[in-house]
Structure 1
């Protein structure tokens, strides 16, 4: 029984995904908008919070970053980088499991609807 619990614990730790891990992968969505980074982030955030109550928004040196994660297991599910450009903002969405769309429609629709 102890071996089973230990193996399960290791499996869960091995599945942890940090924001830095997501940034090493290719973005699921890449787009541009004429909105400022703050305006765009404020549009997307409510939809993300409907999907994951703990979704957060942080200001960065070049714009904003939204993160949706399962804090209880230390896993970042989505990360949205919004960077200032000369004509508005560049948007990049990174997802832990990009092929899995069940329960994620609010996340992607918020990204597209706010463009």
Structure 2
């Protein structure tokens, strides 16, 4: 779900402020049941099981039986436009992504067994000249 509120003001609407709110329920995912080592067999009696590196294999749980946490984000931006004539203008935009610095999950790293999050609070600036 997205909600966008934008307000233009000033002479010729040269300034604009906007707030964007995103919300989404967590995506379903299949949990990991267990990891195990699988030693490759070369097909002969000389395979050295004591010194071989095992391949990491996974047994998964029930398909899509768990859900990731909900996702929510608020973005803010302010824009100022200077119009020089009918065709030329300069625009300055300052914005902040994920203003509340919410820890939204991107994915879960099964191997390292750790959560990987999306963008933190991220300020940005943009200058645009049109002609």
Instruction: Determine which structure has the larger helix proportion and give its number.
Output: 1
Instruction: Determine which structure has the larger strand proportion and give its number.
Output: 2
Question: TM tier, shorter chain?
Answer: under 0.3
Q: Could you tell me the TM-score, scaled by structure 2's length?
A: 0.25
Which of 1 and 2 has greater Rg? 2
Higher relative contact order (CA 8 A, sep 6+): 1
Q: Could you tell me the TM-score, scaled by structure 1's length?
A: 0.28
